A and B are shown apart, each in its own frame.
Chain A
Amino acid sequence: MAHVRTQIRNAVATRLTGLSRTGAQVYRNRMRPLPSGTAYALIVRTDDENVDPISLGFPALEDRRLDLTVECLVQVGGEIDSELDAVIAEVEAALGASEAATTLDGLVKSLRLRAIAIDFNAESDIPTARALMRYEANYFTTENAPEAAT
């Protein structure tokens, strides 16, 4: 069993695979550059995490808040800002589609979008745009079992 962080990252990537624009171009914590000609892609990253023990005794129950980023990349001509907005809309719809989606089938108590940051790169031969969609995943574990959400 993997750490719940890993399970969350994988569950989000699975839910985002197959969207109309980004399709199978969904990556997890990718470090290397994407190949030239990548028009649309998503990268799911798990970042910092706050952990608060909320019970006394052993094992303590931990209230965890994980920062999760969905990086949306668009490299197309034309109205790139509208294309980026369309990718954002697809991600929001997929991760907010139902109670099952917002809890990742019970893995987390909630998965909420907190912020979106936009940036453009005009130096590439095809204009490139990026959106960083910052989600917060709230989940619980016990201190001796970080691989099992409770």
Chain B
Amino acid sequence: MFAEDLDLFFSLETPGSRAAVFAGNDIVVLFDHAYHDAFGVASRNPVAHARESDVPGIAQGSAISIAGAAYTVAALEPDGEGVLMLQLESA
């Protein structure tokens, strides 16, 4: 079975990567914070991708800090290949 080397992606040298802190541990996530129109209210749609091995025990409601901003995990979507997509809310 082919296993991707996720270190290639989850590096601060990767465009879109950000330093993050989860449960007191420094990790790297891929972060997107695009403009989002919420019923006509200017908003953001913060989404992070993290290695599952970096965020053990993460669940809905977990706290995570990304580039110094505090977020709460609203939803998790595993891709089945060791990466989690985290839908985030501002904490």
Q: Hey, which chain B residues are within 8 Å of A125, CB to CB?
A: 33, 36, 43-46, 88-90
Q: Which of A106-134 contact B (CB under 8 A)?
A: 119, 121-128, 130
0/1 string, B54-91, CB within 8 A of A gives 1:
00000000000000000000110000000000011110
Q: What number of A-B contacts does a CB cutoff of 8 Å give?
A: 60
Distance to closest chain A CB from B42 (angstroms): 4
Q: How many residues of B contact A (CB 8 A)?
A: 18
Distance to closest chain A CB from B90 (angstroms): 4
Q: Hey, which chain A residues are within 8 Å of B37, CB to CB?
A: 33
Interface residue ranges, A against B (CB under 8 Å)? 30, 33-36, 38, 41, 43, 71, 73, 75, 77, 119, 121-128, 130
22 contacts between A and B (CB under 8 A): A33-B41, A35-B42, A36-B41, A36-B42, A36-B43, A36-B44, A41-B41, A43-B40, A77-B89, A119-B39, A121-B39, A123-B36, A124-B36, A124-B41, A124-B44, A125-B36, A125-B43, A125-B45, A125-B88, A126-B43, A128-B38, A128-B43
